[in-house]
Amino acid sequence: MSQATNSFVESNQDRLLEELKQFLRIPSVSTLPEHAGDIRRAAEFVASSFKTAGLENIEIIPTAKHPLVYADWLHAPGKPTVLCYGHYDVQPPDPLNEWISPPFEPTLRDGNIYARGSADDKGQMYMHIKAVEALRAVNGTLPLNLKFLIEGEEEVGGESVAKYVAENAVKLKADVALVSDTELFAEGLPTLCVGLRGLIYTEIEARGPSRDLHSGMYGGAAPNAVFGLVELLAKLKDSNGVIQVPGMYDDVAPPDPAEKKSWSALPFDEKEFLQNEVGSSRLTGEPGYGVLERVWARPTLEVHGIAGGFTGAGAKTVIPARATAKVSMRMVPNQDPEKIIASYKAFIQEHTPAGIETEVRILSYGRAISVNPNHHAIEVAAKALRDVMNKETVFIRSGGSIPIVGDFAKHLGIPTILMGFGLPDDGLHSPNEKYKLANYYAGIMTIAHFFEQYGQ
């Protein structure tokens, strides 16, 4: 491990933090059209950071939606090439009133930086750029070849980057991809993620009467779009959370016994998970599976939001004409999203209540990912983590979805190192998202160290 890069990080802490704060102040919410200008500003910020780090061939690449930012440094012939990926877009910050400090005014509390995007993914992708800056400052050069591809649509399905990867396989060719958009299993525990669930994201719209009706005049004869949607959604899972869409579990690959055994050795306390992270009266889910298996290796279905009828203060006696819900399904290895989508659509049509019409819109989908832990780059990454953090690296999965990892496998034929420095209580997608400052600095050191080791 290079003491020099570590010293560089330590002596530049304040500046590295101030620059991250600037990045976090840009409200680059990709799903909301009113933030298009902020998305552009965030892309320009990334391009300018590439320049400072000494990367070359910097491009802001227009797409059908939000721009990609590319850069490379290719002056290490005979050395491997790493493709660094991250995203500069963030989730919407609502519910706004639950934030202790404003989501786009980064604020330090208890050694953490609080802001939307601090952990997911601005704070993490920025470490890659700063690792390059540190290595160049210390050595005047880089130990291997690097390509950077940063997108602005990760939180809305990532269509543009998927298309770009498919169409630019030669330009992007590398030996391995590096993504920091996951978390340490526990504070201080070096972690590599070798599995991700896939995601099918949908919207269901239900229509009943042609207009909102008076519930006194029509209640008992007119179908109710909200109730119709409620009846339909309730049929998607049984009371144990078992998904009722036919064929949902047919192709599910169970984790192999060795992997399952390693999970049971992880420092996981179900009671603490319930109290400190979930905060409900009890956990739920399929009987017969442990929490980690339910979250990492089982398909799930969630309703993310629902809206219809009168929802203001007080009373209004309408039979609503329309209602909508956002519904997603998480996929595990060996499941074919297109097969599941077809079965899901058929299920919705079949179970739509009398008098109601439904429409299903598929917003995005991607399959689950597995990475081989014995791949050379993964082994080097595990060693780099161990060297910096002084503990044996553990291999876990994540229940989340990073569709680009599937695109790298399919179009570039390369595995992805999922080396994230978030923590389980970082509150991704929630109010008061945070990122631990110590992990920001350790991440920069570890990535620089990995580049050096992998370049040898």
Asked if 59 is part of the footprint of its own copies (rule: CB under 8 A), the reply reads no
Task: Name the one range near its own copies by CB under 8 A: 72-80, 100-108, 172-180, 288-296.
Answer: 288-296
- The answer to whether residue 295 forms part of the interface with its own copies (CB under 8 A) is yes
Residue type, 176: V
Q: Give CA–CA dist 227/90, Å, rounded.
A: 33
Q: Tell me the residue length of the chain.
A: 456
Q: Which of 253, 307, 342, 438 binds its own copies (CB under 8 A)?
A: 307
Q: Is position 164 an interface residue for its own copies (rule: CB under 8 A)?
A: no
Residue 107 C-beta: closest distance to its own copies, Å? 18
Q: Is 353 in the site for its own copies (CB under 8 A)?
A: yes
Q: Which of 278, 339, 342, 413 binds its own copies (CB under 8 A)?
A: 278
Q: Is 51 in the site for its own copies (CB under 8 A)?
A: no
* Residue 310 engages its own copies in binding (rule: CB under 8 A): yes
CA distances to 6, 63, 282 from 437, in Å: 15, 33, 31
Q: Is 398 in the site for its own copies (CB under 8 A)?
A: yes
Terminal CA-CA length for the chain: 12
Complex with its own copies: residue 175 or 293, whichever CB lies closer: 293
> Which residue is associated with the tokens 């630019």?
168
Rank residues 77 and 216 by Cβ distance to its own copies and give the closer one. 216
CB atoms within 10 A of CB 270: 11
C-alpha 333/C-alpha 92 separation (Å) is 29
Residue 220 interacts with its own copies (CB under 8 A)?
yes
Least Å from the CB of residue 413 to its own copies: 26
| 223 and 208 Cβ atoms separated by less than 8 Å | yes
CB-wise, 273 or 411, nearer to its own copies?
273
Q: Which is nearer to its own copies, 29 or 384 (CB)?
A: 29
The helix or strand, by DSSP H or E, that contains position 169, with its residue range, turns out to be helix 169-172
Taking CB under 8 A as the rule, does residue 288 contact its own copies?
Answer: no
197 binds its own copies (CB under 8 A): yes
Residues from 361 through 380 that contact its own copies (CB under 8 A): 363-364
CB atoms within 10 A of CB 376: 12
Restricted to residues 94-153, the positions that interact with its own copies (CB under 8 A) are 94-95, 98
DSSP letters of 232-280?
HHHTTB-TT--B-STTTTTTPPPPPHHHHHHHHTS---HHHIIIIII-S
Both structure tokens of 416: 């992805």
Pair of tokens at residue 422: 């978030």
List strands edge to edge, sheet with 112-114: 107-109, 112-114, 434-436
341 binds its own copies (CB under 8 A): no
Q: Tell me which stretch binds its own copies (CB under 8 A): 11-19, 186-194, 233-241, 375-383.
A: 233-241
For residue 287, state whether it binds its own copies (rule: CB under 8 A). no
Q: Where are the alpha helices (DSSP H) in 178-237?
A: 215-218, 225-234
Question: Which residue number, 190 or 403, has a Cβ lying nearer to its own copies?
Answer: 403
CA distances from 340 to 198, 228, 400 (A): 12, 23, 18
**Least gap, CB of 347 to its own copies (angstroms):** 15
Is there binding between residue 428 and its own copies (CB under 8 A)? yes
Question: How many residues at the interface with its own copies, by CB under 8 A?
Answer: 102
| 187 contacts its own copies (rule: CB under 8 A) | no
Q: Does 356 bind its own copies (CB under 8 A)?
A: yes
Kindly tell me which residue out of 44, 159, 205, 286 binds its own copies, with binding defined by CB under 8 A. 286
